[in-house]
Amino acid sequence: MDEEMFEDTLPLRQDLTCPVCQGIFRDPVLLPCSHSFCRECQQKSWEFNNRTCPVCRVPYQEGSAISNRALNDACESFLKQNNLRPVQVQPSEELCNLHLKPLGLYCEKDEEPVCVDCASQHIGHRLWSLKEGTSMCKAELGFKVQIFEKKVELHKKMNKKFSNAVEYIKHQASEAEKLIKAEFERLHMVLHQEEAKRLEALSIDETQKIETMQRIIKETEKEMKELRTLIDTIKKEMGNEDLALLKNFQNVKRQAQWVEPDPAFLYDSLINMGKHVGSLGFNIWKDMKDHIKYYPVVLDPNTASPWLSLSPDLTTMKESSERMTVPDNRERFDPIVFVMATEGYKTGKHKWDVIVGDNPKWILGVCKEVLTRKKKFTVSSSRGVWALGLSKGVYTVLTDERKEVMVPQGPEKIRIKLNMDKGEVSFWDAGREKHLVTLTHKFEGRIFPIFGPGLHATPMVLAPGKIAVHTS
């Protein structure tokens, strides 16, 4: 077709041109909004999740497009009259699917490459060049890589701690086994059956704890592997060509998510030593009370500060010359120097004696189960601790308002009485049977004995209780 003929047919050509592919309509379809498109263009627009008319953006339902036979006949007549062949325009992967123009801009808000004609659909959005957009996307993905790499390092550190915890659990089990065997050896043949029962319980507990910790280790290793895979995937995408990266950026960004919590010790992850060796003799005793000692309270080594050394029977505490190598489990006090009892109380009356001797500084009392353990805090009732303390020769009730307690002569043994039903905890000079002070509070949840022996070489000792057996 010469130039003059082309100009003569230009108005009609424009009327017969598909607004999507810019070619003469091929098998045109009519949408409910009255706009027409090539059937193939309309189907591709629908496949790209564009459920609206490409021209007026009015939504339409699938299957609502009908054949525009009149327009199809007009197109065929136009092509025959001008000796033209229908040209099928194939959108290139490098062109805009809607306008078939080069993708030369990047929309920061929609996070996708667009062409110049798309700008009218992104009013108010910030548009960048492809190079600038690529730089922005790489920076964001690079930041995610840094986060994930840090998480990998955290996983590695925690995995090492978990592995150390397995060895510590084995050590706990070994120490408990020695104590159990020694106690049962002392009680001789009468107690052999009970000994086997206790060792079996310990073995099951050890197995369960180790299995749990090994499962956590495997999960942590799995997460490390997944994080590395995720990092490699992101880095691989970052190495693609700019346009390929931008087109796949939303998909990569959706994949670049990590919602799994960081590894941490589960609560009650270590062996409950008090369960196996606390008041062991009393628990198995029937006719041999003259050969055993009963302790109303035993210490929980899983809560003990790394600077405290506990006796094997969990009744004596004193300063450790070196920081103990123990797991940093959730129950443990660190850096504050405290240790709790194994058993907590919800109801009833309870009492225990503590031999403080001539220690110049200590704190004794009760506390809530949920308590700050990983940072220093001021001991007071508002923090969930009801206690009596000695410092610089002064006895003080450690409430929000510090109150000095007048004690004529320093006691060597302190008795703590807890009445959960009345909401009272009282402190006594056990040697002289003299009341010192009583604190009242409506206790909720379990309440635990707590001990702050201070950093002294002289041990603080739990005194054994009296045993009385009544049978009927």
Distance CA 302, CA 340 (A): 9
pLDDT the model gives residue 3: 46
Q: Is the pLDDT of residue 14 over 80?
A: no
Please write the tens of the pLDDT for every residue from 276-304.
888 887 777 666 777 778 899 999 999 99
Domains of the chain, each with CATH number or no CATH: 1-89 (3.30.40.10), 159-275 (no CATH), 293-462 (2.60.120.920)
Distance CA 75, CA 67 (A): 13
Q: Is the pLDDT of residue 394 over 60?
A: yes
Q: Is 283 exposed, middle or buried (0-12, 13-18, 19+ CB in 10 A)?
A: middle
Distance CA 223, CA 219 (A): 6
pTM reported for the whole predicted model: 0.61
Q: Residue 1: which pLDDT band, with cuts at 50, 70 and 90?
A: very low
Share of the chain above pLDDT 90, in %: 48
* Residue 18 dihedral angles phi and psi, to the nearest 5°: -70, 130
Answer yes or no: are the C-beta atoms of 428 and 378 closer than 8 Å. Answer: no
* Residue 37 dihedral angles phi and psi, to the nearest 5°: -150, 160
Answer yes or no: are the C-beta atoms of 344 and 352 closer than 8 Å. Answer: no
Please write the tens of the pLDDT for every residue from 94-139.
777 777 778 888 999 989 998 888 888 888 888 888 888 899 999 9
pLDDT the model gives residue 286: 61
First to last CA, the chain: 120
Share of the chain above pLDDT 70, in %: 93
Q: Residue 92: which pLDDT band, with cuts at 50, 70 and 90?
A: very low
**Tokens 């339902």 label which residue?**
61
pLDDT the model gives residue 9: 63
Distance CA 407, CA 230 (A): 66
Q: Residue 458: which pLDDT band, with cuts at 50, 70 and 90?
A: confident
Distance CA 260, CA 279 (A): 41
pLDDT the model gives residue 50: 65
Least reliable range by pLDDT among 177-181, 189-193, 260-264? 189-193
148: which strand partners? none
Average pLDDT over residues 224-232: 92
Amino acid at 373: R
pLDDT the model gives residue 367: 96
Average pLDDT, the chain: 87
Average pLDDT over residues 303-326: 93
pLDDT the model gives residue 472: 65
**Tokens 């920076």 label which residue?**
139
Distance CA 181, CA 199 (A): 9
Please write the tens of the pLDDT for every residue from 36-86.
988 888 887 777 656 788 777 788 888 888 998 888 888 888 888 877 655
Closest C-alpha among 84, 83, 97, 74 to residue 15: 74
Average pLDDT over residues 381-387: 94
Please state the three-class secondary structure of the chain as a single string. CCHHHHHHHHHHHHHCECCCCCCECCCEEECCCCCEEEHHHHHHHHHCCCCECCCCCCECCCCCCEECHHHHHHHHHHHHHCCCCCCCCCCCCCECCCCCCECCEEECCCCEEECHHHHHHHCCCCEEEHHHHHHHHHHHHHHHHHHHHHHHHHHHHHHHHHHHHHHHHHHHHHHHHHHHHHHHHHHHHHHHHHHHHHHHHHHHHHHHHHHHHHHHHHHHHHHHHHHHHHHHHHHHHHCCCHHHHHHCHHHHHHHCCCCCCCCCCCCCCCCCHHHHHCCHHHHHCCCCHHHCCECCCCECHHHCCCCEEECCCCCEEEECCCCCCCCCCCCCCCCCCCEEECCCECCCEEEEEEECCCCCCEEEEEEECCCCCCCCCCCCHHHCEEEEEEECCEEEECCCCCEEECCCCCCCEEEEEEECCCCEEEEEECCCCEEEEEEECCCCCCEEEEEECCCCCCCEEECCECCCCCCC
Answer yes or no: are the C-beta atoms of 407 and 393 closer than 8 Å. Answer: no
Report CA-CA distances (Å) from 200 to 168, 180, 185, 193, 205: 19, 11, 16, 11, 9
pLDDT the model gives residue 104: 83
